[in-house]
Amino acid sequence: MADKTKTQPAAPFTIEVPETLLKKRKLSEASKEAQVKRREEREKKRQSGKEVVFKRAEKYVQEYGQKEKAIVEARRAARRAGDLYVPGQARLYFIIRIKGVNHIPPKPRKILQLFRLLQINNGVFMRVTKATAMMLKYIEPYIAYGEPNLKTVRELIYKRGFGKIDKQRIPLSDNHVVESKLGKLDILSIEDLIHEIYT
C-alpha cells in the first residue's frame, strides 16, 4: 500500500511584525535622525558663538589698553606742564558690608536692604549717582567701599559671581548661563558681563 500522506516541503517560517511595532520603529528612527541634526546645528551655533566671544574679548583687551595708555599720557603731560593729573570721578563702586545687624537704626537698615547687603561680607557693584552717594553717607559705618579696577572686577565675578535666574541663585560658571538670561541684551559671555560692569 502506498503512503497516502505525502510530505510537502516546509514553507519558510515567517513572523508577521505587528503594525504598531513597525510604526514605533519608524518614529524612533525619525526622532534619532532629528536629534542628530539638532545636535549638529547646536554644535555649529556654539562654534560660531565661540568665535564671536573671542573677537569681543580681543576688542575689550585693546580698549582697556588704550584707556591705560591715555591715562599714562595724561599724567606725563601734566607732569611736563608742572600740573597735577586728577583722575575723573568714580563711576562704579564695589560695596561690601562689614558690620552685623545689631544696633542698626531703621533708615540705614533699609538702605542696606536696598543695596542687597543683607549679611556680613556681602558685596555688590553699584553705579555712582547723586542718590547712591547720599545713601552711602548714611550707611558708611557699616560698609567698606571703593572704586574697583578691572582685575578686581574680573576676579570677583569669576570667583564669587552669582546671578538670579528664575528666582534661584546660580553661579556664573560658564557662558551658557549668561547667554540664556542676558542674550537678548547682547551679553553673550562672562567677559561681556565684566565689560558692561566695568564700563
Q: Is 33 helix (H, G, I), strand (E, B) or coil?
A: helix
The answer to whether the Cα torsion of 19, 22, 24, 26 is positive or negative is negative
Structure confidence by residue, pLDDT tens digits, 166-193: 888 888 888 888 888 887 888 888 888 8
Please tell me the pTM assigned to this model: 0.67
Tell me the pLDDT of the chain (199 aa) as tens digits. Answer: 555 666 666 556 677 878 888 888 888 888 888 888 988 888 887 777 778 888 888 888 898 899 889 999 999 999 999 888 888 888 899 999 998 888 889 999 999 999 999 889 999 999 999 999 999 999 999 999 999 988 988 898 888 888 888 888 888 888 888 888 887 888 888 888 888 888 8
Cβ atoms within 10 Å of 56's Cβ, excluding its own: 17
Outline where 103-174 has alpha helix (H). 106-114, 130-139, 150-160
Structure confidence by residue, pLDDT tens digits, 76-91: 999 999 888 888 888 8
Q: Is 181 helix (H, G, I), strand (E, B) or coil?
A: helix
Angle between helix axes 190-198 and 175-182 (nearest 10 degrees) is 60
Q: What grid cell was written down for 49?
A: 558663538
pLDDT of residue 136: 92
